[in-house]
Amino acid sequence: MKMLSATIIASTVVLGACAPEPVTRVETAVTVDQASTEALAAATGLPADAVLGVTRTDNQYVVFYRDDGVTAEQLAAAPRTICANTASTVFSAQAVDTTAPQFGTGVQRMTVTCS
């Protein structure tokens, strides 16, 4: 029994020495700005009454919009408009189907990454 206890203690010491230090603090900065619907329309290329909100993290934009308020052409042009506002090009663009019940009815989401 003593040998087993010593082995467990030795294993714990070895594993503890190999483990990285725990993260004790995470830096987070969130900025919230109010924008008019006209400003959001100009920034996205989508109609002002269709855009519900826009978020940005580094070079990735997420646009929430009313599906019945945009045409396929407007939706296709939106990523180029968004990235052009930051003098960059479209790296990827993906419309996400949000028809599941946890999302609001008629609300869609598009994620655009600029490069």
> How far is 104 from 107, CA to CA, in rounded Å?
6
Q: Is 114 helix (H, G, I), strand (E, B) or coil?
A: strand
Alpha-carbon distance values, 75 to 20, 34, 44, 87 (Å) = 46, 23, 9, 20
Q: What's residue 33's pLDDT?
A: 72
Q: Tens of pLDDT along 17-76?
A: 555 566 566 566 666 677 888 888 999 999 999 998 899 999 999 999 988 889 999 999
- pTM for the structure as a whole: 0.67
Domain boundaries of the chain, sorted by first residue: 50-115
Q: Tens of pLDDT along 91-114?
A: 999 988 777 676 667 788 999 999
Instruction: Say if residues 78 and 65 touch (Cβ distance below 8 Å).
Output: no
Instruction: Say if residues 65 and 107 touch (Cβ distance below 8 Å).
Output: yes
Neighbour tally for 42: CB within 10 Å: 15
